[in-house]
Amino acid sequence: MGRLPKIKSPMSLDEWLRRVLRKKRPEDRMKIFREWRRLNLRLNLKKEPTDEQIEEEIKLFREHDALNYPFGLADSLSDFVAVYHQANRLKKAQRAATVRWATSTGGGS
């Protein structure tokens, strides 16, 4: 992967995600960002946020220049990526174990 071009203002959310999550596919970047915002809203609201609340949060991010995001936001997102991937690995392993168990016992759903 080559060097990123110089930072130009204003920076869009997609460009910011491209710089923060360089090794991720574009569709995965937004998926990770959405889950990160869901987690932050869950912590702030003390309940599970609705899809409308998450979309409103993303809309706020899209409306502002990414260069003006609070300091440490990129680090927070980068730290979240490892947790996100670990949780997904665990879910995939549990699903695979369930399928393997069902086929080995001759049962099935």
Domains of the chain by residue range: 13-79
Sign of the Cα torsion 54, 56, 57, 63 reads: positive
63-94, pLDDT tens digit by residue?
A: 888 888 887 888 888 888 888 888 888 888 98
pTM for the full model?
A: 0.70
- Residues 58-70 have pLDDT tens digits of 999 898 888 888 8
